[in-house]
Amino acid sequence: MAPLSRLALTQDPIVAIATAPGRGAVGIVRASGQGLRAWSSALTGRDLPPREATLLTLRDAAGAPIDQCVALFFPAPHSYTGEDVLELQGHGGPVGLQLLLERCFEVAAEVPAPAVHAEARPRLPTLRLAQPGEFTQRAFLNGKLDLAQAEAVADLIEAGTEAAARSAARSLHGAFSTEIESLAAQTVALRTLVEATLDFPEEEIEFLERAGARARLAGIRQGLAGVLARTRQGALLREGTSVVLAGQPNVGKSSLLNALAGAELAIVTPIAGTTRDKVAQTVQIEGVPVHIVDTAGLRELGAAQGPAESVERIGIERTWAAIGQADSILFLHDLTRWHDPVYIEAEEAIAARLANLPTERLVHVYNKADVTAASHRPPDGLCLSAHTGEGLAALRRVLVERAGWQSGSEGHYIARTRHVQALQRCGAHLAAADQHASCGNAELELLAEALRSAHEALGEITGAFTADDLLGEIFGRFCIGK
């Protein structure tokens, strides 16, 4: 299979099963390409009216029925891809769909009959199976979607929460792109102003001052800051945040995981070392995916090297590795052992290793509040009971707040890490532009270059300035048929 980045170099028509594998009420076979009308007529046995559903029976080469389908023909450019598109909606059985797909290839390979009617059925260029994301990539290449909207298609399909789905829908309908295009237009207008002054060096400073160039630049930077804040929220909705439960054995890590997930995912026993490996679960908190990892209890192991100790040692090593990669670490403490000198000594040893982490990543949580008197609880700690659920609501709020989620805010659009990074680069270029602008005519060319770089960073988001290898990476993650 050719690399996806080469798809822009070919105009071959493509076809694929567009519905998910398995059995269902309806299954769809989709084809796209230039000049598909003659092939569509040969396949269906009739000239389909544009954008009208037609019920018909698809037959094989011998005339035997394959399936009864609803056929829809969308002539270019009024289609999802901007090319001619044929959709066959049949019964959702995998065998039947495969037979429809094979019939598409058979008709495409048929050589037209000689004599005068050859022109009526021109042979179709090589029809091939679509690669992942190729339909949506063609929509992007043909100007039906920009790159941010195309990515939103995949994000809407993959959305794991209602908030993520609604945000992806906003991006698909252009909310994110509109804001980016507005910033780009303002940047281009300022670039035009600055570059025009380069032709009149004796008037450049006065001209820029009269045009309010510094004020315009400040307005662009302020607008960018607002978009970046909403984009970070959208990226959080899409990618979520990772949380590791850490602490000594039997402090209630597995119980807390089960309580947050609302299911018995991890085995809970009073035996130290029950959890030997990571147990992961994703929960939704205010629409944000929170990826929680329960880990082996942290403790010092003796010199014994039996099978049990070896397995637990590996589990502890993996715990520390998970801690190093997590966005947040819940350091769980057992309130029932809060005055045990041995327990406290072990807590201090763990705390010493965790001290190297940024403080904003570490959350101290005190468990078993249901069996502990209030006088024995830390006055400033987050106390809870994984058994009764006391304090879980407060913990959930802390988790999303630490991740940067702003509760109650509206108007998010789904975003990706690359969008955030592009906006951050744009912000850095605009900050440099502001410094050059403050230096007057001595750095006017540098000001123009900084604005050009800022404009290109914005263009990377919508695809105005995008390398082929990035397109291959983006669309290669789509499902086949989309």
CA 410, CA 399: separation in Å to the nearest integer?
A: 19
Is the pLDDT higher at 127 or at 309? 127
* Pair 395, 286: CB distance under 8 Å: no
pLDDT of the residue at 430 = 96
What CATH number is associated with residue 92? 3.30.1360.120
- Most confident listed range (5-19, 124-138, 267-281, 425-439): 425-439
The CATH number of the domain where 448 resides is what? 1.20.120.430
Most confident of 319-323, 381-385, 407-411, 456-460: 456-460
List the beta strands (DSSP E) in 93-240. Answer: 128-129
Q: Kindly state whether residues 271 and 386 are assigned to the same domain.
A: yes
Element (H, E) at 193: helix 175-197
195 φψ region: left (φ > 0), alpha (ψ -120 to 50), beta (else):
alpha
How many domains does the structure of the chain reveal? Answer: 3
Is 473 within a domain? Answer: no
Inside any domain, residue 430:
yes
Q: Read off the tokens for 370.
A: 């249901």
Q: Which pLDDT value is given to residue 4?
A: 45
Same domain membership, residue 112 and residue 35: yes
Do 346 and 300 meet the contact criterion of CB atoms below 8 Å apart?
Answer: yes
- Rounded Cα distance between 38 and 47, Å, is 8
Pick the more confident residue, 380 or 207.
380
Q: Is residue 9 located within the same domain as residue 123? A: yes
Q: Which domain holds residue 333?
A: 240-403
Please check whether residue 68 lies inside any domain of the structure.
Answer: yes
Please check whether residues 66 and 8 belong to one and the same domain: yes
- Per-residue CA distances from 34 to 48, 101, 148, 405 (Å): 16, 19, 25, 46
Q: Which of 375, 403, 431 is the last residue of a domain?
A: 403
Please give the structure tokens belonging to residue 131: 């690669």
| 409 falls within a domain | no
DSSP-derived letter for residue 312 is H
Q: Looking at the structure, do residues 23 and 141 belong to the same domain, yes or no? A: yes
Neighbouring C-beta atoms of residue 3, cutoff 10 Å: 11
Q: In the block, which residue shows the tokens 């209602």?
A: 162
pLDDT at residue 118 above 50?
no
> What is the DSSP secondary structure assignment for residue 160, as one 8-state letter?
-
pLDDT over threshold 60, residue 273: no
328 and 304 share one domain? yes
Kindly state whether residues 292 and 211 are assigned to the same domain.
no
Give me the percent of the chain exceeding a pLDDT of 90.
39
186 neighbors 461 (Cβ within 8 angstroms): no
Residue 89 · residue 30 · CB < 8 Å: no
* 219 and 83 part of one domain: no
Asked if residue 475 belongs to a domain, the reply is: no
322 in the same domain as 248: yes
According to the per-residue pLDDT averaged within each range, which of 4-13, 106-115, 119-128, 235-244 is highest? 235-244
Q: Please tell me whether residues 316 and 218 are part of one structural domain.
A: no
Give the per-residue pLDDT at 193. 83
Please state the φ and ψ torsions of residue 352, each to the nearest 5 degrees: -65, -40
Q: Are residues 211 and 77 in the same domain?
A: no
| Residue 154 covered by a domain | no
Q: Which of 372, 403, 434 is the last residue of a domain?
A: 403
**pLDDT tens sequence across 338-366:** 888 888 888 888 888 888 888 888 999 99
pLDDT, residue 467, reads 66
Residue 218's pLDDT band (cuts 50, 70, 90): very high
**pLDDT grade, residue 102 (50/70/90)?**
very high
What pLDDT score does 426 carry?
96
Whether 133 and 218 map to the same domain: the answer is: no
Does position 259 have pLDDT exceeding 80, yes or no? yes
Query: What pLDDT is stored for residue 340 in this prediction?
Result: 86
**pTM of whole model > 0.75?**
no
